[in-house]
Structure 1
Amino acid sequence: MHGHRRRSDEDYTWRHREDWIFDPPIASGTTPGDVENHPKRPIDPKTAASVEASWKRIDAWLTLHVPSLKAEMGKGATSEAIAKAEATLGVEFPDAVRASYAVHDGSGSVSLFPSGDYLSLDGMLEQYKIWKELVDEGTFDDEESDPEGPIQKVHYHLNWIPLTHNGDGDHALIDLAPAEGGNVGQLIDFSHETGPENVAAHGLAEYLSILADGFESGAGVVEETYIEWHQETGMARSAFGVLHSPKGNVRQALLRVHRRDLEQVLGGLPGGQRHDDQIRQDRHQGAVDDQVVRQP
């Protein structure tokens, strides 16, 4: 495996180009930007029901505990907007992705997922544009990665679509070109420094269910101006890559919420309450890292 250099901010400087267009990463029968000819596909009812049920649980938790944040969540995208994003990228989203964006087109200013902000469709395209330019310029030509699980061993693949962003170049990516044994649409944890790390979930439907379980179990805690995720709950752990990680690496994460008016420390629903003294004990035992890091 080639060595990895620590990347500077200059690697990710936004370069505005009015004439910038996408080449299609996947042969989907459409031309990038050709929205009218993009196929209108029905979403599998079972997948849609699963995704909608998970979002209903997540929304209920936010409404109960932090209604001001629930109000900031993005509204659902239209089928036309979803089709436009697909056509721009030249891909077909898995049904779970389309169903999710029909419920919420991003998380607004709420850093909801352990891997950061749930990107709007526009945010997805912006992040993909940055990575595509870097790939096209040959930035990663001499680099490989060493991910756990059925993931291609490259630094970045054009069939990886950003779903989340933590503000530092790290993502949960929708993997549309997995390695042998993988699942099209699996979510992979991605570091801008080292590339793909592991499979976080078999797909977005599973990931949302895991996230909902995490909230309801008390794994997510609103503390001052951020949501802190704890690793005690097995289902919450799988959102950090443990479920599909043979090495059992646990990635701790702080979900930053961009608000200044949160004063309460909140736990999950009854039976899953978290308190300051337990949080301090967890930190002392090393169960919770005080920084937004990925453990080696």
Structure 2
Amino acid sequence: MVDDAQISVMDRSRRNLLIGASLLGALSLAGLLPARCAMQQIRRNSAIAGNQPPKRPPGTAKPLVDEDIGPVLARLDAWYATHLPPGQYKFNPPATEAELDAFERVIGLKLPRAYRQLYLWHDGESDDRWGHIYGLPLLPLDQARSQWRTWGDILAEFGGNRYTIPGAAWPEGAADPAYINPLWIPLTHDGSGNHIGLDLDPWPGGRTGQVILFGRDEDVKVVLAGSLGKFLEWIAGLLESGNFRLDAEAEERVLRQFRLKVPPANSFHEGARILLGAPGPFL
């Protein structure tokens, strides 16, 4: 008899087959997902790929919060200047209004004021090991655009079906349980196809502009905060409270040294789920 753990492994293997089959060429180059299979495999799995969309609950999501994130950016500036070695943790110069306008034209959306403020502060950072969000880099606009386009390419390979790979959301009904949604804008990247991102298409239990976890290994989309400002305030509060580590212990192998102290997770995505009481990433 196959037990629950074996079923879970089987489901992940099937899911990874679907994912890996869509990642040749530009997908692999974008660093979203590791290519594992030939493109024909996704076509041979059309029966698996035909999942129907879940029923969307009635109602309308809460509206976007028009917020000024200047104060929390100042708090982060002060903390970073005090604690992070400037030779390793390097932000890019600010983006320009013209670059933000161009990004809006590409994605076909008007960006929240807070998002524009964030990128007028810094146009992300270019090192994927020394990121300022607990080791995760804030994506520069050009990389955010590339990642967004790549997810669009994957969606096209799935025949436009966002639900080819089943998903869920936490809290339930707050976010689209899709595998891909073109109105999710990546803010960070962990190097394995997973993001913290801006959700501009929430479900009725959520809020437009909320910040979520999504990506290759994020079957369960988790709402981290109701807005970009609230997310940055949460990060600033964690840092100012002393909940961080900057050094690995002897013989400890880590991808990123800047991590949470409590819980002692090697991944901020994992630690964030634990802090919020959210379920794990896989169905």
Q: TM-score range by the shorter chain?
A: 0.5 to 0.7
Give, in whole Å, the separation in 2 of the partners of 1:230 and 1:71.
19
- Name the one with the larger helix percent: 2
- Name the one with the larger strand percent: 1
Pick aligned residue for 2:86 from 63, 68, 91: 68
**For residues 138-158 of structure 1, what are the alpha-carbon distances to aligned partners after superposition, in whole Å with 9 as ceiling and x for unaligned?**
167333211212111211111
Paired position in structure 2 for 1:89: 107
SS of 1:61 mapped into structure 2? helix
Pick aligned residue for 1:240 from 272, 277, 282: 272
**For residues 149-206 of structure 1, what are the alpha-carbon distances to aligned partners after superposition, in whole Å with 9 as ceiling and x for unaligned?**
2111211111111111000000012111000121111111113034342101111101
Paired position in structure 1 for 2:169: 147
How many pairs were matched up? Answer: 218
- Identity, in percent, stands at 24
SS of 1:213 mapped into structure 2? helix
Greater RCO, 1 or 2 (C-alpha within 8 Å, sep 6+): 2
TM-score by length of 2: 0.67
Task: Quickly say closer, same or farther: Cα 1:203–1:146, change in 2 above 3 A.
Answer: same
1:249 and 2:278 matched: yes
Give, in whole Å, the separation in 1 of the partners of 2:109 and 2:220.
20
Give, in whole Å, the separation in 1 of the partners of 2:110 and 2:153.
21
Task: Spell out the pairing of 1:1-296 with structure 2 (5 A cutoff).
Answer: 5-7=15-17, 11-15=22-26, 47-48=67-68, 51-69=69-87, 72-109=90-127, 110-114=130-134, 116-138=136-158, 141=161, 142-149=164-171, 150-224=174-248, 226-231=257-262, 240-241=272-273, 248-249=277-278
TM-score by length of 1: 0.64
The root-mean-square deviation of aligned C-alpha atoms, in Å, is: 3.2
Gaps in structure 1 of 5+ consecutive residues: 17-43, 252-293
**For residues 251-274 of structure 1, what are the alpha-carbon distances to aligned partners after superposition, in whole Å with 9 as ceiling and x for unaligned?**
7xxxxxxxxxxxxxxxxxxxxxxx
Gaps in structure 2 of 5+ consecutive residues: 1-10, 28-64, 249-255
SS of 1:223 mapped into structure 2? coil
**Letter of the aligned partner of 2:215 in structure 1?**
S
Is the CA contact 2:168–2:220 (under 8 Å) kept in the aligned structure 1?
A: yes
Give, in whole Å, the separation in 1 of the partners of 2:24 and 2:260.
30
Give, in whole Å, the separation in 1 of the partners of 2:246 and 2:158.
41
